[in-house]
Structure 1
Amino acid sequence: MRTKEVALFIQDAVLLPGGRLEISVVTPSDLCVVADVLKGYYELAFAPLKVNSDLPCYIAATQCNIIDFNQLDNGCLSIIIEGSQRLKILSAAKKRNGCWIARALPCPNWTQEPIVGEFEIISAALEQFYQVNPNLLELYSQTHLEDAAWVSQRWLEVLPMYNRDKLILVEQPNCHKTMDFVLHLLKSYVDV
């Protein structure tokens, strides 16, 4: 696969293919990123923040699209982004306007596969999570609770874990380790 140049949106969160996230665009450099993407200069990538590193983010990132805009009560802009393609960040440089531009290599997305057997509890638990957190559910026009890859990635986005720990699972070639991890978490919670 060929490398590509992307504008980085860096935050202390994880966004994966098929996932959606609402982001407040507050700083001038954030506005420059949005403007550069909308002008077609760069494609947009979302990357988890990494401190004390040569790169400003972890190397696992996700190419995404801006799918909606909102004006917040304080007058600031928020955007809703949707992840589309896994990327590996090879290098990054900061422009004068504060925007980070990276050279990235597309990586294979996890393939869709059905949820079967004992793993169905993971899908049911995610559905309950969304009922308790309707603001997250509102981001999606439809959910794919029957797809193990989609469900696994949504759990990685919302679990309260350090990004470095999530990315160990994100960098796997498929969703199987994440499914096992989430199932173990849910079973241990029920056993308490």
Structure 2
Amino acid sequence: MQSREMALFIQDAVLLPNGRLEFRVALASELSLVASVLKGEYGLAMAALKSNSNLPCYRSVTECEIIDFHQLEDNSLSIVLEGKQRLKVLSAAKQRNGVWIARTLPCANWLHEPIAGEFEIISAALEQFYQVNPDLYDLYSHVHLEDATWVSQRWLEVLPMYNRDKLRLVEQPNCHKTMDFVLQLLKSHVDV
């Protein structure tokens, strides 16, 4: 495996492969980062913010692409990112313009698996979540509610959990622990 330099877009959020999230870009360092990426100087990786650390983010990040952007009414920029490949940060340094550049290695993405049995409730609950949150649903041209990996990764992106807890699940070899976690969470909510 060969390491690659990536510009880090650091936010208090988690983006995983095949996921899409929209972000407001207003800081000068964020605009510099977007410009560097669009010029082809660096690849882009979405990183979850981590405080009280030598690195500004967790080591598990996701390579992503800017798939859409537009100017907001306040003249700031809105970008839509799509996750592609899981990566591990080996080292990172902050440039003078405030952009963090990381040396990264690719990690295996979770393999696609069909949802079956009692886990179908997780897919149905995500579909309901998207009905209540159409802005998130509208980011996708296709949803894959039949795919356990896709569904569990979307849950990790939207659940109100600490990033460290989300990333403990992300670092598992497959989606099974996440599926179990979300199923137990949904069952406990129904039992209340």
TM-score using structure 2 length: 0.99
Matched residue SS, 1:98: coil
CA shift for structure 1 position 188: 0.6
Q: Answer yes or no: is 1:59 the counterpart of 2:43.
A: no
Structure 1 segment 27-176 matched on structure 2, within 5 A: 27-176=27-176
Identity of counterpart residues, as a percentage?
74
Q: Distance in 2 between matches of 1:133 and 1:188?
A: 22
**4+ residue runs over 3 A deviation:** none
- Alpha-carbon displacement from aligned partner over 1:6-59 (angstroms, at most 9, x marks no partner): 000000000000000111111111011101111111000000000010001000
Matched residue SS, 1:97: coil
CA shift for structure 1 position 71: 1.1
Cα root mean square deviation, aligned:
0.5
CA shift for structure 1 position 73: 1.3
Letter in 2 for 1:149: T
Q: Distance in 2 between matches of 1:135 and 1:71?
A: 17
Q: Answer yes or no: is 1:24 the counterpart of 2:24.
A: yes
Unaligned regions of 5+ residues in structure 2, if any?
none
Letter in 2 for 1:133: N
- Alpha-carbon displacement from aligned partner over 1:59-95 (angstroms, at most 9, x marks no partner): 0100000000111111111110000000001110000
Letter in 1 for 2:105: L
CA shift for structure 1 position 176: 0.2
Matched residue SS, 1:58: strand
1:185 aligns with: 185
Q: Answer yes or no: is 1:7 the counterpart of 2:7.
A: yes
Unaligned regions of 5+ residues in structure 1, if any?
none
Q: Distance in 1 between matches of 2:31 and 2:52?
A: 25
